[in-house]
Amino acid sequence: GAVVSQHPSRVICKSGTSVKIECRSLDFQATTMFWYRQFPKKSLMLMATSNEGSKATYEQGVEKDKFLINHASLTLSTLTVTSAHPEDSSFYICSARDFNEREAGDTQYFGPGTRLTVL
């Protein structure tokens, strides 16, 4: 299957600082990437859809000015959590949509996730 990487895997920061998370598709081009967050023992909640070369589409209730998304190339999307607060602490996971997956038409492959802790 397709490989998606995320960096960093863990980050601890002070309240009020900004944190950037990178999501890369390593062996395929992804015009669409998705950003999720997951609380302990809860399911994934879609935050936004990131499209290469255009503005991200945010889900209802997600602050676009707080969670900045940039999809600058076909293999890279970034999520920046601005002015982070303790309630932003979570597991952030990206996925990339692979059009070349014959088995599923197209499917989403997930990165390994980023654990953000805001002190």
Q: Which residues bind other proteins (CB under 8 A)?
A: 1, 6, 32, 34, 42-46, 49, 91, 93, 95, 97, 103-113, 115
Cβ-based nearer residue to other proteins, 57 or 82: 57
Q: How far apart are CA 102 and CA 58, in angstroms?
A: 29
Cβ-based nearer residue to other proteins, 18 or 29: 29
As separate numbers, helices (DSSP H) first and strands (DSSP E) second, the chain gives 0, 11
- Taking the complex as a whole, the smallest distance from the CB of residue 117 to other proteins amounts, in Å, to 13
* CA nearest to 115, candidates 94, 90, 95: 90
| 2 CB-side CA count, 13 A | 25
- Taking the complex as a whole, the smallest distance from the CB of residue 16 to other proteins amounts, in Å, to 27
Cβ-based nearer residue to other proteins, 29 or 83: 29
